[in-house]
Homo-oligomer: A and B are copies of this chain.
Amino acid sequence: MEQLTVAQLGARAKAVAAVLASASPSLKNNALAAIADALTARTEEIIAANKADLEQAVRNQMSQAMQDRLLLNPARIQGMAEGVRKLIQLDEVVGKVEEGYVRPNGLCIQKTRVPLGVIGIIFESRPNVTVDAASLCMKAGNCVILRGGKEAFSSNMCLTNIMRDAVESAGLPADIIQLVPDTTRESSNQLMKLSQYLDVLIPRGGAGLIRAVAENATVPVIRTGVGNCHVFVDASADAAMAVNIIDNGKTQRPSVCNAIETILIHRDIAKDFLPLVKARLDEHNVILHGDAETCEILGDCVVPAEETDWETEYLDYQLAVKVVGDVDEAIAHISRYGTNHSECIVTKSLDNARKFQLTVDAAAVYVNASTRFTDGGEFGFGAEIGISTQKLHARGPMGLYELTSVKYLIQGEGQIR
C-alpha cells in the first residue's frame, strides 16, 4: 500500500469530520465498545507487534525503565480496553446547550457545544496513549491524527489498525482515527504546520517536545504537562501533614508532571522541620539539593543547590529545598521558576492560604493537599488527554469538555439590523 503523506491524512480526516461531529451518542458508544472488544480479541496480534518494538529497544540498549514503558502484556491490554469502556459511561458533551436566551428583537441564541474537529497529537514512548487519546477524542466527536514515537511504531500501528477496523464495523469511517505512517522529524514538522486541516495540536511529552511545538507550530497548540511543582511549608503548618504531602508529592510517582520538584520551608520552622522531612524522604533515598541554609541545618548529606536546580523538573527521586522568609518570598520564587502547573501551601493561616491561592498563577493551587491530585480522574472528569499548563482554551486536566468548542445557533423570523 502506498504510504500517505501528512497532508493526505489531514484531507482524509477533514473529509469525515462532519460525519463524526453529527454521530449520535449511541453510535459513538457502540464504536467505543467495538474498540474495547477488538483490543481483547486481538491481544496476540498486539503482543506480536509490541515484540518487534521491544526487540528493537534491546538492540538500541534502551534503559529498563523505558523498556517497561514500552511493554504491552495481556493485563495492560485489558487495562486499555477497560479505559475505553469507561468512556461509554461518561455524559455526552456534544450538543449540550450551554446558554440559551432570547434577545429583545426575538432572536433565539443557543450557545452549543460542538467538537473541535480534527485534533493532532504528537506523543512519545508509551503505546497506550494511542488508544487513550483516540478513544477520548472520538467520544468528544473529534477526528484524530496521531504521531507517536519511533520506539513504539509497530505497536502504535497495530493498535491504530485495530481501532480503525472496530469503528468501521460499528458504522463510522475508519479515517476518524489515523496514525502518521512515519516517525521522521519531517512528519512531525508537517503536522505542526497543517493549519488547513488541523483545528488543534496537542503535544504530549517532555519539555523539549513542547517547546519545539510551541515554536514551530502554525496550528493552534495546547501545551501540556511540564510541571515544576512546589510545596511551601508555612510557619503555622501542621508538620506531620506537611511531611505526608511532600513525601506523597515526591515519591508516590516521581516520573509524572504533578510530582513536586522543590520545597520551600518557612525560616521560623526550618530547623525543626527539615530533619523530619529528610528522615521520611530517606526511606526512598531521595537526594536533596539544598540552598545554603538548608545545607547548614542538614549538613553534608545535602547537595548544594545550583541555580539550575530551581528550574529542573527532576522526574526522579531528587528534590530541591530552599528556606524562605515568608509567603511572599515563596510566591515570588514560584512566580520565577514555576511552570503554572500545580502548587501547594501547607498552612493554618487563613490570610496566607488566601494570598497563596489568589496570587500563585497555576492551573491548580492547593491548600493542605498533595499536588498529585491534578489529574482528570481525581478531579472527577472520568478521563483526560493531558494537563494544560497554558491559560488559553483549557487549563489543568483536559477531559471531554476541553476537547470541544462552541457554536452559536441562531433562530430568527427574518430579523435584520
CA distance A380 to B392 in the complex (A): 23
Residue of B nearest to A370 (CB): B416
Q: Tell whether A183 is near chain B: CB-to-CB under 8 Å.
A: no
A395 touches B391 (CB 8 A): no
Q: Tell whether A245 is near chain B: CB-to-CB under 8 Å.
A: yes
Which candidate, A75-83, A146-154, A273-281, A404-412, is the interface stretch facing chain B? A404-412
A-side interface residues, number (CB < 8 Å): 65
Q: Which of B363, B366, B380, B393 contacts A101 (CB 8 A)?
A: B380
Q: Tell whether A378 is near chain B: CB-to-CB under 8 Å.
A: yes
Q: Tell whether A413 is near chain B: CB-to-CB under 8 Å.
A: yes
A392 touches B393 (CB 8 A): yes
CA distance A220 to B222 in the complex (A): 9
Residue of B nearest to A248 (CB): B416
Which candidate, A4-12, A123-131, A353-361, is the interface stretch facing chain B? A353-361
Given contacts A18-B359, A248-B416, A252-B416, contact A395 B367 (CB under 8 A): no
**How many Å from the CB of A73 to the closest CB on chain B?**
25
**How many Å from the CB of A361 to the closest CB on chain B?**
7
Given contacts A199-B391, A416-B244, contact A409 B357 (CB under 8 A): yes
A365 touches B409 (CB 8 A): yes
Q: Which residues of A contact B (CB under 8 A)?
A: 18, 21-22, 101, 103, 107, 109, 114, 116-117, 195, 199-200, 214-215, 218, 220-222, 238, 241, 244-245, 247-248, 252, 335, 357-359, 361-370, 372-374, 378-380, 390-393, 395-396, 405-417
